[in-house]
Chain A
Amino acid sequence: MTDPTVEEFARDADAWFSENVPEDPGFMLPLTFMEVGEDRQFDFLRDWQRKVYEAGYLGAAWPTEYGGGGLSEAHQKAATRAMRKYRGPILLNAIGLNWAGPLILDIGSEEQKSAYLKDILSAEDIWCQGFSEPEHGSDLGNAQLKAEREGDEFVLNGSKIWTTQGNYAKYMILLARTNPAAENKYAGLSFFLSPMKIPGIRTQKIKKLTGEFGFTQTFFEDARISADCLIGGEGNGWKVAMRTLEYERGARGGQAGGYVSIPPDLMEIVELAKTAKRDGAAAMDDPVLKDRMVDYLMDMHALSLGNERKRMMPLVEDYPNALPLISKLEFSELYRELSEFALTLLGPKAAYYVGEENSADGGWWARSYLNAFSATIGGGTSQIQRNIIGEHVLGLPKTR
């Protein structure tokens, strides 16, 4: 059988999503993978991801021997577009699909590829990320969770925190200290693909800013994992972690496709500005608000144009790495501002929160605004992003 062309594939995907995007389940669905707080949300999204995968619209560009579709990135992009067009819910297994998956594909052993990739796609195995610790977040290179070698095993002791989907995960990408005596803090780190459901590993849910759950603290007490869980080689953890962050921030490709968050839709905010009333008139009639609306429209459009420009070599010659490096900072901050602006448009009705029938929007924008901080803090805070851009793009000296 010959592969479908991108056009054929796109047409089929369009038809499939038009029929298969699920009905509103009657409870609030997460807008991002970091907000999966209830079992019914989890079950619903896991079913959805499996369905998308089985239809061939996830991992379409991953190799067939590991459960992928063996097609091109263009095929996957077409499927993702169709998914977005019909407003499919988010895909659940973000860390597996977008970070662990491409990492394993790129540098994992044959055994690791065969063991993990297919079940990442089908959402059979949920993955989480163990980078941040209670005492070391931005200063990731200082992570202290201990991994001591004993024969063919490592013994894990310490704690990770803000572990998204930690309570659901079967595996964790884990950054741990294998050599406390290394010449510098980075050299003592190693990277593991660690099982979660083993003796000595325990998670505890943490309630978020929004009042929902979604991440955990993860405790390690003499948990034993096989040395085969190492990826990238002992002592190379920092390099592997940096690579992982590039997948996470979208600066490096290879992700399975689909999307794992639904950003605030500018057109909905425009609509809100036209319908929300302030002082008896549409919010949009307020010249100050209208002016801000134009600003946001321009800023949003600049980001989507930037996404295209980054592929046009002549237009990125001065600082070739700039656009990929700035996009996480830009999108996360703009989404935060936009959803906050929506609250301004709501005026006094911004007083209401999720579940209140007197609210104008079901508390949607308030929750959206609060959730926006997940992206300005998670994955490296905006301040850390500015350090990185200043140092790696503009060549400014490191901050110490």
Chain B
Amino acid sequence: MSVQLEQITRRNPRNGRPIVDNVSLAVASGSFTALVGPSGAGKTSLLRIIAGLDPHQAGHVSIDGTRVDTLDARARNIGFVFQHYALFAHMSVAANIGFGLSVRPRGQRPRRDVIARRVEDLLDLMQLSGLGGRYPHELSGGQRQRVALARTLATGPRVLLLDEPFGALDPLVRRQIRGWLRSLHERLGLTTILVTHDRQEAAELADTVVLMRHGRIVQAGTPQALEDTPADPFTMAFTGDLVRLGGRVENHVFTPDLPDILPVTAPIAAGPAELLVRPVDIALRPGQGQATAVLRQARGPLGLYDVRLGTDTLQVETLMPPDRPRILPHCALDVTAGRLARDNAWASVETPPFPGPPSIHPTGERIHAQHS
């Protein structure tokens, strides 16, 4: 089932400020979408609007092309998994899972033994066999989360909304459940929207990552698209580790404030600017400067180096030279792979196309450095 959001706005009932601000999004049937963004961005609010838990003041929600704006949450046939599980504490696990079937109107309610069989199947599917008689407080966090998921799936929803479902789990269990959720999504042909704080989780799970901020969608696309063409510095900062270097542009050359970083060509207007680069994209150039790089940790062919630049220390992850030296003296840093920003936006090109490599394309694809 596809989900369509058209210019959804929800205002804070108290002060009228938008919590969700003119959001449009098309979620294809069978896709896995991750909703990411800083705290307070409006992710939960958007999810609740889709589910019908919160009203919106403008725009339309459509499921499979049908507008559901005025439809009650219970009539939308959407599954929702809450951050804190929201299990019924006074019911056994089996009763929790069977709840959605047992509250159906008399005519549509399955027989008791049919419900029991469905519950057993779901317990098996969730790898919870034998726990049906327990109570929620007798389960671990990961088990509770799976019970919540089983309870949601029992009624056979085609759209599954998950609000930070793994927030309270330890990293190991998280990884485990993550992979298993993805296979579940595929096996059941669900359309899934997942809110998460974990960018790695989003990248691993989702076909589409939607980045939100201040109630708006900053960028939506495949994880690769967000990595390759971040819409703005905020996106780039959110999707991975980042080194920010202050500096100035004169005569189309960006010179960082820190010493021992090689200047890079920059086809933008003169003035202060900022260069954003991933630590893995920084290259070490031995013999071209005065900095000393000290190996902190080697991981396969990659080395994590501490580089002292004046009073600052930068951490750089890069391909090591074949002899894996512990100390590289007289280094300079090559940040050609970075992007130039000004006032929290990419700096716009002044005179394209600018001749002569190495150059930085402020927008669009960047030129990749040789080392990675």
Do A and B pair up? The answer is no
